[in-house]
Structure 1
Amino acid sequence: MKYKEVNLGELVSFVSKGIPPKYIETKSHNTIVVLNQKTNRNFQIDYSLSRLNDLTKKKVPKDKILVNNDILINSTGVGTAGRIAQLVKVPELTTVDGHMIIVRPDVEKIDPLYLGYALKAQQAKIEGLQEGSTGQTELNRQRLLNDIVIQFPQSRELQQKISKLFFSFDEKIENNKKINHHLAA
């Protein structure tokens, strides 16, 4: 079995910080969901903590509207910068604020789900890429792309087998959490 090792930058088609939103409280056809650092915990996105951007006051560039398999990384703050989550399926029109980085896998080069798990496995190293003074730390995007090395099987089929196995574990864990919640209620 042959493996490749390349810098993250070689495996992504798009990397960008989010938008500076103009928040609004009421959902309408002129709003888009905005994910922020609070929504990204334990390798998952919690939409219940998201906010809304008023599209009449702040447009969102098309490339910053999230798509399936986008990987989201918190980019600022001690204790939060470096947290990673992957949106396998985007449930509604969504973007991120300026404190998160969108990493979009290049599907021609790697299985997107595999890349998500490979990055999650390196979260501690990514957290170490913070720079700046205490409380005002910022994740260095260029170092993220250059210093994070992804090792992956050359076989796309094997990448998919590995990522599907991890995904099935995640689904089982999520189902068990729901069962426990219902039992506790």
Structure 2
Amino acid sequence: MGLLVVNSKHVREGEVILTDNRYAYLQETNNPLTIQTDDVLINGTGIGTIGRCAPYLYEQETLPDNHVTILRTDLLDPVYLSIYLNSLIGWKLT
């Protein structure tokens, strides 16, 4: 089974881009951590892009590469959370 892979260049401020992605083909015995609707994705590396985040609002299940962190919570709306984390206040907290 092949799933799209989301890497740091796909996570923009407030938006996740699902074009020009590579696919990962998984064996059915693998049980990877997948990106799900309403997750917040955060860039973990990159000069000028570290900390950039966006809500994942697609229905399509995807895989993160090792430069993308998945933040999953039921306590806050993912759009609100990503706007907050991308704000000046959010940058000061990280």
| Correspondent of 1:80 among 28, 46, 49 | 49
Distance of 2:16 and 2:48 partners within structure 1: 17
Distance of 1:125 and 1:114 partners within structure 2: 15
Deviation, structure 1 residue 117? 2.3
| Correspondent of 2:26 among 33, 40, 55 | 55
Contact in 2 for aligned 1:34/1:51 (Cα 8 Å): yes
In structure 2, the residue corresponding to 1:47 is in which secondary structure?
coil
Deviation, structure 1 residue 58? 8.9
Kindly tell me the number of residue pairs found equivalent between the two proteins. 94
Matched residue, 1:137: none
Matched residue, 1:100: 68
In structure 2, the residue corresponding to 1:49 is in which secondary structure?
coil
Deviation, structure 1 residue 91? 3.2
Say which structure is richer in helix: 1
Distance of 1:71 and 1:120 partners within structure 2: 11
Matched residue, 1:70: 39
Distance of 1:52 and 1:93 partners within structure 2: 12
Matches within 5 A, 1:126-145: none
TM (norm. structure 2) is: 0.79
Distance of 2:91 and 2:29 partners within structure 1: 34
Which runs of no fewer than 5 residues in structure 2 stay unpaired?
A: none
Which has more radius of gyration?
1
Distance of 1:78 and 1:53 partners within structure 2: 26
Provide the identity percentage. Answer: 30
TM (norm. structure 1) is: 0.44
Matched residue, 1:172: none
Contact in 1 for aligned 2:40/2:55 (Cα 8 Å): yes
- Please say if 1:116 is aligned against 2:82: yes
Larger RCO: Structure 1 or Structure 2 (Cα < 8 Å, ≥ 6 residues apart)? 2
RMSD: 2.5
